[in-house]
Amino acid sequence: MSHSGAMSNDDNAVMANSDKQNEVIIDAQFLRLSFRWAESLFGKGAPFILGREESALWKANKELCENNRYSMRRMNPPWQGGGVSHSGAMSNDDNTAMADSDKQNEAIIDAQFLRYKDVLQKRCAERKASVMQTYKIAVIAGDGIGPEVISEGKKVLEGIAGLDGGFRAEFTDFPWGCDYYLKTGRMMEENGLEKLKGFDAIYLGAVGYPGVPDNVSLGGLLLEIRRGFDEYINLRPVKLLKGAPCPLKDVRQEDIDMIVVRENSEGEYANVGARLFPGTPQEMALQTGVFSRKGCERVIRYAYELAKREHKTLTSISKGNALGYSMVFWDQIFKEVGEEYPEVETSSLLVDAASMFFVKNPGRFQVVVTSNLFGDILTDLGAAIAGGMGLAAGANLNPEKTFPSMFEPIHGSAPDIAGKGLANPLAAIWSVSQMLDFFGHEDWGRRVIDAIETLLVEKKTLTPDLGGRAKTSDIGEAILEILRH
């Protein structure tokens, strides 16, 4: 310092160096303390959820570190021989003072941390909820083994949400099904569709129970939802996983890997028809298939888009040689739409020939598109060659997301084993994978399938239908344990 009391150029340079070094130390201390506290409260991603400017803890921490910096300078200014050496580096005494200051800061800020803890927890929870995607899922566990398998699927989805940290699942249960029908005369409430309309997805277990006609149980719930919410795409994977049983001889695991795109809103299941002259010798039943240009074109186009995106072949399955109106119309539309997709390799088969090839040469199929009835039958055959109904899942999609889509294991309600812990929930868990795909979490969807495959290969935790001794309630946690590692 000059005799006039003003700082010289050298003093200014020393002070600037000191400022920079102190700044680095303070910033490091600030981050270390703040991240430690935030993570202890909220987990590893907490500081980014909380935001520095929104937290009193962050502000208090920074202010104390800054105040310490200037108090040290006042007590030990560099131009009086303290603070820094003439080289600009901190002396041993300075380092000791800074270490003592760190400890004092920690003690003071720890006290402030405890003071602000409740406020911060509340603020972080509010902010986390505002930035985290919440999927509202309506759960219709249904009949028989439905509640047991759906419980495991919910367990897996909740566990994945916790592992991911970027979304959560909010479940609302509805007690609809055959038991509800026996009490009320309806499979679901009269305004059931209105209640379901606001959900992101529907998770369905199984439908059917002795004493309730199948046409009532199916038509009053499952088909009602499919039609009411225009879930015109039924997506059913037929894929032989490693470790899954296969009744076919000399078939490799990679030979059975197809996706069936089934028309899901009209066709043979349109519920158009009549019973004429009941109770007389002339009695007859009329069942009318409905094949609209809109209905056929949109499902066929969906299949073309899927085949194009996945670089796979596309096979259309119909029965145009015998059904001269509906199926000839289907074949015509398949050809018309195909003109827009010259890069997709296609073939067309009659349904009886396709059934044969499902068994004799399943490797020829990659993406399949077909009508409601044919798709229903063929995918059950597909399940039989790819591990059984316990591994068969289906997605009922409204691709535009105007209405909620529905995800389900496609097996029956199996009332004979209900409540015994014998049911295989892997199909219900596979449908969770489809739900994750639909929500845009394809990586988690793939990882769930990989986890199912690992479970099948390891054979440690399998239900009796797959040769194991595990209970239904063991499977969800076993899948999550694989996902955690």
Residue 123 and residue 240 share a domain: no
Q: What is the token pair recorded at 37?
A: 């506290």
Which of these, 166, 171, 170, lies nearest to 131 by C-alpha position?
Answer: 166
Q: Is residue 477 part of a domain?
A: yes
- What is the domain range of residue 339? 229-484
Of 107, 129, 151, which residue sits at a domain end? 129
Residue 444 and residue 307 share a domain: yes
Residue 241 and residue 106 share a domain: no
Which of these, 474, 454, 452, lies nearest to 464 by C-alpha position?
Answer: 474
Residue 233 and residue 116 share a domain: no
Report the side by side order of strands in the sheet with 367-370: 167-173, 133-142, 201-206, 405-409, 393-397, 233-239, 257-263, 367-370, 314-318, 346-350
Of 129, 160, 175, which residue sits at a domain end? 129
Residue 242 and residue 109 share a domain: no
User: Could you tell me how far CA 160 lies from the centroid of its own chain?
Assistant: 8
In Å, what is the CA distance from 398 to each residue of 96, 228, 299? 67, 11, 11
Q: Is residue 196 part of a domain?
A: no
The CATH number covering residue 272 comes to: 3.40.718.10
Q: Is residue 337 part of a domain?
A: yes
Q: What is the DSSP letter of 89?
A: S
Q: What is the token pair recorded at 383?
A: 């399940």
Residue 382 and residue 272 share a domain: yes
Q: Is residue 349 part of a domain?
A: yes
Q: Name the phi and psi angles at 204, rounded to 5.
A: -110, 140
The domain tally of the chain equals 2
Query: What 3-state DSSP class applies to 186?
Result: coil
Of 69, 94, 129, which residue sits at a domain end? 129
Cα–Cα dist 453/210, whole Å: 34
Q: Is residue 186 part of a domain?
A: no
pLDDT by 10s per residue, the chain, length 485? 444 545 555 555 555 555 555 555 545 555 555 555 555 544 444 444 444 434 455 555 555 555 554 444 444 433 344 444 444 444 566 566 656 666 666 666 566 556 656 666 666 666 556 567 999 999 999 999 999 999 999 999 999 999 998 899 999 999 999 999 999 999 999 999 999 999 999 999 999 999 999 999 999 999 999 999 999 999 999 999 999 999 999 999 999 999 999 999 999 999 899 999 999 999 999 999 999 999 999 999 999 999 999 999 999 999 999 999 999 999 999 999 999 999 999 999 999 999 999 999 999 999 999 999 999 999 999 999 999 999 999 999 999 999 999 999 999 999 999 999 999 999 999 999 999 999 999 999 999 999 999 999 999 999 999 999 999 999 999 999 999 98
Cα–Cα dist 433/455, whole Å: 15
Q: Is residue 173 part of a domain?
A: no
Cα–Cα dist 214/414, whole Å: 13
Q: Is residue 176 part of a domain?
A: no
Residue 243 and residue 124 share a domain: no
Amino acid identity at 468:
G
Q: Is residue 101 part of a domain?
A: yes
The answer to whether 424 and 465 are in contact (CB under 8 A) is yes
